[in-house]
Copies of this chain bind each other. A is one copy, B any other.
Amino acid sequence: MQNNETKAVILLSGGLDSTTVLALAKQEGYSCHCLSFSYGQRQTVELDKARHNAIQMGAAAHLVLHLDLDKIGGSALTSNIAVPKNRSTEEMDSSIPITYVPGRNTIFLSHAMAWAEVIGSFDIFIGINALDYSGYPDCRPDFLAAFEKTANLGTRAGVTCGKKFTIHAPLMHLTKKEIIISGMELGVDYSSTHSCYDPDREGRACGACDACRLRLKGFAEAGIPDPAPYQKVGDNK
């Protein structure tokens, strides 16, 4: 248990995973400094959820930074490329999908590291997990270990303070079902989390993209209905 003077930077997307991570870091006693990004993503509704949850869950601070990832492109989330729908678990496992955003977690973690250094924090939390993870390379333990080393070599804090950065990924080895159950135990309100890659104008989830399917499978396995809003079949987008 940390005393509440110990600051942590929490990468908060507004999704199910990172909101659970915020609840876990709070439970551990950290003073939570949440960091979100406006990066040209389709699902900007997730930022509204992140802002709402940071306040509701008692974050000490919430910083939203702009990134020009849409100018780099190369992903269905930041470019005019269709989001794949209704893929099976086997299809999701077989390759890295077009929703992969090149460099995203490295760029997010780099900013978290910079902000941590400025506020005097050595603890960074990220909601990545190696199970039910859509096949993204920047969601794996070896990537995270390499980034942690980079942070400790490339910052004044890492080099001179006698303390080292730790990148916490408390969901790394949990299934979506286990994440949901642990979040429910901590009182996370999943109705105000957003996972869908391709929501409609009202911010309602499509139910068919990889993120929706992993989320719905997790709620089904946990035996809990997903309280987030979904589009009805046949709705116009």
Tell me which of B65, B71, B138 contacts A155 (CB under 8 A): B138
B143, A150: Cβ atoms under 8 Å?
Answer: yes
Tell me the chain A residues, 147-184 only, with Cβ under 8 Å from chain B. Answer: 147, 149-151, 153-160
For A124-146 the 0/1 string (1 means CB < 8 A from B) is 00000000000001101011001
B114, A137: Cβ atoms under 8 Å?
Answer: no
Cα distance, A159 to B146, chains bound together (Å): 14
For A109-126 the 0/1 string (1 means CB < 8 A from B) is 011011101100000000
Tell me which of B68, B137, B160 contacts A154 (CB under 8 A): B137
How many chain A residues sit at the interface, stated as a range, is 35 or more
- Specify the chain B residue showing the minimal Cβ separation from A67: B67
Q: Which residues of B contact A100 (CB under 8 A)?
A: 156
A106 at the A/B interface (Cβ < 8 Å)? yes
Q: Which residues of B contact A110 (CB under 8 A)?
A: 103, 106-107, 110
Cα distance, A159 to B68, chains bound together (Å): 24
A74 at the A/B interface (Cβ < 8 Å)? yes
Given the known interface contacts A103-B117, A110-B103, the answer about A146 and B143 at a Cβ–Cβ threshold of 8 Å is no
A115, B66: Cβ atoms under 8 Å?
Answer: no
A66, B69: Cβ atoms under 8 Å?
Answer: no
Q: Which residues of B contact A72 (CB under 8 A)?
A: 63, 65, 111, 114-115, 118
A102, B74: Cβ atoms under 8 Å?
Answer: no
Q: Which residues of B contact A229 (CB under 8 A)?
A: none
- Specify the chain B residue showing the minimal Cβ separation from A101: B114
Q: A74-B114, A102-B113, A106-B110 are in contact. List 15 more A-B contacts (CB 8 A).
A: A72-B115, A73-B118, A74-B117, A102-B115, A102-B117, A106-B155, A107-B110, A110-B110, A137-B153, A137-B154, A137-B159, A143-B154, A146-B154, A149-B150, A150-B150
Residues of chain A touching chain B, judged by Cβ–Cβ distance below 8 Å, are: 63, 65-69, 71-74, 96, 100-107, 110-111, 113-115, 117-118, 137-138, 140, 142-143, 146-147, 149-151, 153-160
